[in-house]
Amino acid sequence: MPKIPTAPIAAAGLLGGYATARWTKNRRLGGAVLAAAGTITHLQWRHAQGPRTATALTATYLTAFGASHPLAKKLGAWPAVLTVTSAVAGAAWVGVDRKREA
């Protein structure tokens, strides 16, 4: 598998999933974007660091998606999505991408 950084892929899944759902008014399509990026990143995380890291980062990705909903009530939709996206991208960089660079 190529050594493509996973943080931007995870970020694209969260940002792209939300943007797709919002602009097309089709939540399922947004979910498909979210799921596709999540699957790609999970496979890369598993290949790079093993199943434990992949499971932990995938759980972080899914938890962030879920947390963005109540967070949106406090911050607004886009700020909430940007907040959880930065957390997931940071976790992906620390957990996998930084280690690949070394």
Domain with 16, as residue range(s), is 6-97
Q: Is residue 1 part of a domain?
A: no
Q: Is residue 77 part of a domain?
A: yes
Q: Which residues of the chain have pLDDT under 50?
A: 1
pLDDT of residue 2: 57
pLDDT of residue 93: 97
pLDDT of residue 102: 65
pLDDT of residue 78: 97
What is the phi/psi pair of residue 34, to 5°? Answer: -60, -45
Structural domain count, the chain:
1
User: Across the chain, what does the average pLDDT equal?
Assistant: 95
